[in-house]
């Protein structure tokens, strides 16, 4: 398809990329942001989705809705980097099954981390922690 439709060149728009077989928003965002420096959206993989919920940045579960929530929180120029930061944190510290909350660099701002570190928080205190983020 790249050769036939695009003369062998990788397209530089979301519409053209997602028009290729097997390319969705996540892949298109990765290509545009990393290869071409074009911030069209935030890459939402499993790490980003998990951290968006844990950090209280989104209550959504659908990647496109999480993407919209995250885009509202950061300037467009930082969208690609935001994805990298969340992915890195999800791979190195905030694991799916056993997050390292006691050693976490952002535990003071993380509602999920506060629940782990302060299990005696009342539901009202936990709600206030979520509101801080």
User: For residues 133 and 55, what is the distance between their CA atoms, to the nearest angstrom?
Assistant: 7
Length of the chain in terms of residues written: 133
The candidate with the shortest Cα–Cα distance to 25, out of 35, 13, 36, is 13
109 flagged as catalytic: no
Q: Which two tokens stand for residue 95?
A: 């694991």
Q: Which two tokens stand for residue 19?
A: 């028009």
| Active-site pick, 5, 45, 64, 107 | 45
**Other beta carbons within 10 Å of 100:** 14
45 flagged as catalytic: yes
From residue 113, alpha-carbon distances to 46, 60, 75, 104 in Å are 19, 19, 26, 8
User: For residues 120 and 131, what is the distance between their CA atoms, to the nearest angstrom?
Assistant: 18
Q: Which residues are catalytic?
A: 26, 45
């Amino acid at each position: 398809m790249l050769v036939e439709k695009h003369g062998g060149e990788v397209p530089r728009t979301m519409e053209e990329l997602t028009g290729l077989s097997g390319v969705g928003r996540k892949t298109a965002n990765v290509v545009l942001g990393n290869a071409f420096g074009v911030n069209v959206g935030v890459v939402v993989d499993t790490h980003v989705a998990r951290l968006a919920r844990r950090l209280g940045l989104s209550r959504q579960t659908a990647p496109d809705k999480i993407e919209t929530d995250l885009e509202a929180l950061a300037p467009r120029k930082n969208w690609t980097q935001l994805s990298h930061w969340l992915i890195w944190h999800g791979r190195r510290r905030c694991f799916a099954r056993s997050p390292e909350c006691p050693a976490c660099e952002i535990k003071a701002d993380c509602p999920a981390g506060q629940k782990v570190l302060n299990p005696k928080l009342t539901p009202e205190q936990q709600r206030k922690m979520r509101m801080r983020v």
